[in-house]
Amino acid sequence: MTTASPPTAPAASRRRAPHGPPLLVPVLVYVALTIAYVAVNASTPQPTASAADVLRHDLDHSAQIKVGAFLLIASATPLTVTAAFLYRRLRALAVNAPGSAIALAGGVLAASSLALSGMAAWTGARLTSDASPALARVLADLSFAAGGPGFSLTSALLIAGVAVPGTVARLLPRPLAVLGLVIAVVGVLSSLTFAVYGFVYLVPIVRFGGTLWLIATAILLPRTRPRAKE
């Protein structure tokens, strides 16, 4: 008496099972919080503003700054989740190069930069009228440094960590992958703001261009990677 063995699918038609959670959810939450933060903090003084102007703004817009700080700190959470999801997705797609780990590290560092920026802003909003303008200036500089060029530099690691394997393994459309590499390079260059203030104009390119890039990547990065046909 013989027993029939269970049917097996042809090797060429086998595919890896879907891996990883939906990327778009945390990305959209991050985008929504970022847009809300920008709307609330539209009147934030420029880094070139005087210490007296910064203190005056902190005193006159204390509640507004606190709301913005909350939104900024809150946005760090979905960004961290996004980095973790990207790492998991890249590993599931058999990307064994350092790119996945670089993306995770960059995402965690970028989220930490946002949180630090929000905390510094919240602290500045609690200053009283007898506070030193110099202290207000220091807190504003820390918030800018962390949430501006500091965030741009670290988010460049996140983007490059996905764009490089996306290019090499053809996981992303080539134009999108190349655009990611360009944004990552701009992010690195934006760190020169710490030496030459003129480079500050590169920061919004990374902040908003990188955000749009993350949305496109969350939509187009595949869940599965077909096996090569023999």
| Residue 56 pLDDT exceeds 80 | yes
180 domain-assigned: yes
Q: Which domain holds residue 162?
A: 21-40+49-220
32 domain-assigned: yes
| Residue 18 pLDDT exceeds 70 | no
Q: Which pLDDT score, from 0 to 100, does residue 188 have?
A: 96
Amino acid identity for residue 12 in this structure: A
| Residue 54 pLDDT exceeds 70 | yes
3-class DSSP state of 20: coil
Q: Which pLDDT score, from 0 to 100, does residue 10 have?
A: 43
| Burial bucket for residue 105 (CB in 10 Å: 0-12, 13-18, 19+) | middle
Return the structure tokens found at 7.
Answer: 């049917």
Q: Which pLDDT score, from 0 to 100, does residue 226 have?
A: 53
116 domain-assigned: yes
75 domain-assigned: yes
The number of residues making up the chain comes to: 230
Mean pLDDT for all residues in the chain: 88
E-assigned strand segments in 16-100: none
Give yes or no for a contact between 155 and 206, defined as CB atoms under 8 angstroms apart.
yes
6 domain-assigned: no
1 domain-assigned: no
167 domain-assigned: yes
Average pLDDT over residues 169-192: 95
Domain count, the chain: 1
106 domain-assigned: yes
- At 141-173, the pLDDT tens digits run 999 999 999 999 999 999 999 999 998 888 999
| CA–CA gap between residue 50 and residue 9 (Å, rounded) | 71
pTM for this model (two decimals): 0.85
| CA–CA gap between residue 163 and residue 172 (Å, rounded) | 8
Pick from 149, 140, 150: which is nearest to 119 by CA?
A: 140
